[in-house]
Amino acid sequence: LGSRITHAIQQMNNVTIIDEKALNDCLNEITRALLQSDVSFPLVKEMQTNIKKIVNLRDLAAGHNKRRIIEQAIFNELCKMLDPGKPAFAPKKAKPSVVMFVGLQGAGKTTTCTKYAYYHQKKGYKPALVCADTFRAGAFDQLKQNATKAKIPFYGSYTESDPVKIAVEGVERFKKEKCDLIIVDTSGRHKQEASLFEEMRQVAEATKPDLVIFVMDSSIGQATFDQAQAFKQTVAVGAVIITKMDGHAKGGGALSAVAATKSPVIFIGTGEHMDEFEVFDVKPFVSRLLGMGDWSGIVDKRQEVVPKDLQHELVEKVSQGNFTLRTLYDQFQCSLNLPLNQLYSMLPGISAQLMPKGHEEESRAKMKRYMTMMDSMTDKELDSSNPKVFSESRIMRIARGSGRFVREVMEMLEEYKRIAKTMKGIKIPKNGDMSKVIPP
C-alpha cells in the first residue's frame, strides 16, 4: 500500500502542469490503495474531499514541493480521523474502576483483558478479572489460566449460568478487596445476535462500568464500521482495542471503529502473549498504514527522537560526504520539536552559526522561514549537494513559490553552503559521538 501511495504522489510530482485532473488522478489512486487497506468507503471519500479543500492547486503549480504538500495533507487527515476529540476514561489508582470488555466471539476479549490487566499491574495498579462469559464452555478456564500466569486475582464460576449475577458478585468482591481496576470479561457470539446485545446491556446496567472497551479483530476488514456501530448502539462504548495487528491486516479498520464509536483506540494487540500489547499512538500507526519509508520524515519526532539519534543519522550522511539541503531540512524539522535548551547540543557546526545562544526564538523563526523556501524546491534541488544547480530562474521560482524575496532565498543558500562546508571539515570520532566534536 505504502509504495502504491508513494507512487501515486511521485507521478504527480513528475507532472508539469498541475490541474484539477492531475490532482484527481492522484487522489483516486490513493483512494483505491486505502480501500484495500480496509478503510471504509465513506471515510476515504471524506478524506478526499478534505484534502481537496486543503491542497491548493495554485500552491502546487507555483513550484511548492508537491509531494510534501500532498503527503502532509494525507497524513494529517488520517491522524485527524483517528482522533475523536476526547480521551478515553483513564482508571485512577486506589479508586475502584470497573472496565467492561465487549466484542464478538474470537475478537480477542479474554486475551486482551489479561493484557490490559497485566499492563496496569506493571504500572502499579491492583487489577482483578471477572469472567462473565457463561456462554462458551471453557471460558472460565481460559481466563483462570491467563490470570494465574500473570498473578492477577480472578472470579468466575463453573456452575452459575447467569452472567449478570457473576459479574455483580465479582465486582462486589474486588471492591471489598480494594482492587482499583476491576475488569469484566463478557461473552460474544459469532454474529451480532439480539441475545448477545441483551446480555451485554444487562451486565452493563448491573455493574455500571466506568469504561466499556470494544475489542475488534483487525482482520474483519470492511465489516468493522457496522459491527462497531451495533455495539455502540447497545452499550456506551468509550474506547477501542484492535487485536491481531501482528497478522496480515493493515489496520484501516481502526478509522472505521473510531468513526462508528466516536471513541479513541487505546491499545493494539500484536500477538497471543501477555506482553504483545502496545499503547496506541496515532502518528506511528498512520505512517505504518501508509507504509513507512518516505513517510517517516513527517512523523513528529518529539517523543521518539533524542538528540543522539539525530546525530547518528547526521554522522552517516556527513560521512558519506552528502550534506544536502534535504539533510538540513530534516535536521530543522527535528530541531523544531526539541525543547529550546537541547537545540544547541544537537548539531555542532549548525548550532554555532544558526542558533546563537540567547536567540533561540529567532533561530526557530529562521528555520521555519528556510523550510518554507525549501518546500518550494524540487526533489532534484533538495538532493543536490552542488549549489551551482540554483540558476537565477530557479531562485526566482523558489522565491515566488514561497512568498519570500529573492534576496532571502540567496541568503538561505549562502547559509547552507557555509554549513555544508563546516560539516565537511568536521572529523567524526570512531564511536560516532558528535557531541564531543568541536567545529573547525
Q: Which residues bind Mg ion (CB under 5 A)?
A: 109-110
Q: By CB under 6 A, is residue 378 in contact with ligand GDP?
A: no
Q: Which residue is nearest to ligand GDP (CB)?
A: 269
Nearer to ligand GDP, 31 or 134 (CB): 134
Question: Binding ligand GDP by CB under 6 A: which of 84, 221, 271, 291?
Answer: 271
Nearer to ligand GDP, 9 or 254 (CB): 254
- Minimum Å gap between C-beta 15 and ligand GDP is 42
| Spatial distance between the Cα atoms of 64 and 81, rounded to a whole number of angstroms | 26
Residue 58's Cβ-side half-sphere holds a number of Cα atoms within 13 Å equal to 4
Cell of 414: 549562502
> Which residues lie closer than 8 Å to 106 by C-beta, 6 or more apart?
188, 190, 217
Stretch that binds ligand GDP, among 68-76, 264-272, 311-319, 391-399 (CB under 6 A): 264-272
> Which residues lie closer than 8 Å to 4 by C-beta, 6 or more apart?
29, 32, 33
Are 217 and 2 in contact by the 8 Å Cβ rule? The answer is no
> 129 pairs with which residues across the strands?
154, 183
Q: By CB under 6 A, is residue 328 in contact with ligand GDP?
A: no
For residue 270, the partner it binds in Mg ion, ligand GDP, none, with Cβ less than 5 to 8 A by kind, is ligand GDP
| Spatial distance between the Cα atoms of 148 and 237, rounded to a whole number of angstroms | 28
Q: By CB under 6 A, is residue 146 in contact with ligand GDP?
A: no
Size of the residue set binding ligand GDP (CB under 6 A): 17
Nearer to Mg ion, 109 or 301 (CB): 109
Q: By CB under 6 A, is residue 84 in contact with ligand GDP?
A: no
Q: By CB under 6 A, is residue 301 in contact with ligand GDP?
A: no
Question: Binding ligand GDP by CB under 6 A: which of 8, 27, 98, 107?
Answer: 107
- Minimum Å gap between C-beta 152 and Mg ion is 16
Are 208 and 167 in contact by the 8 Å Cβ rule? The answer is no
Question: Binding ligand GDP by CB under 6 A: which of 84, 106, 221, 439?
Answer: 106
Q: Which residue is nearest to Mg ion (CB)?
A: 110
Query: CA distances (Å), 51 to each of 10, 14, 27, 77, 91, in order?
Result: 17, 20, 9, 7, 37
- Minimum Å gap between C-beta 44 and Mg ion is 33
- Minimum Å gap between C-beta 122 and Mg ion is 23
Are 218 and 253 in contact by the 8 Å Cβ rule? The answer is yes
Question: Binding ligand GDP by CB under 6 A: which of 91, 96, 108, 163?
Answer: 108
Cell of 165: 449475577
| Spatial distance between the Cα atoms of 371 and 424, rounded to a whole number of angstroms | 22
Q: By CB under 6 A, is residue 111 in contact with ligand GDP?
A: yes
- Work out whether strand 181-186 and strand 211-217 pair parallel, antiparallel, or are unpaired: unpaired
Question: Binding ligand GDP by CB under 6 A: which of 97, 234, 270, 327?
Answer: 270
| Spatial distance between the Cα atoms of 188 and 134, rounded to a whole number of angstroms | 10
Nearer to ligand GDP, 77 or 217 (CB): 217
Residue 172's Cβ-side half-sphere holds a number of Cα atoms within 13 Å equal to 8
> Which residues lie closer than 8 Å to 145 by C-beta, 6 or more apart?
none
Q: By CB under 6 A, is residue 110 in contact with ligand GDP?
A: yes
Site for ligand GDP in 231-260 (CB under 6 A): 243-244, 246-247
- Minimum Å gap between C-beta 381 and Mg ion is 57
Q: Site residues (CB under 6 A) for ligand GDP?
A: 103, 105-111, 188, 243-244, 246-247, 269-272
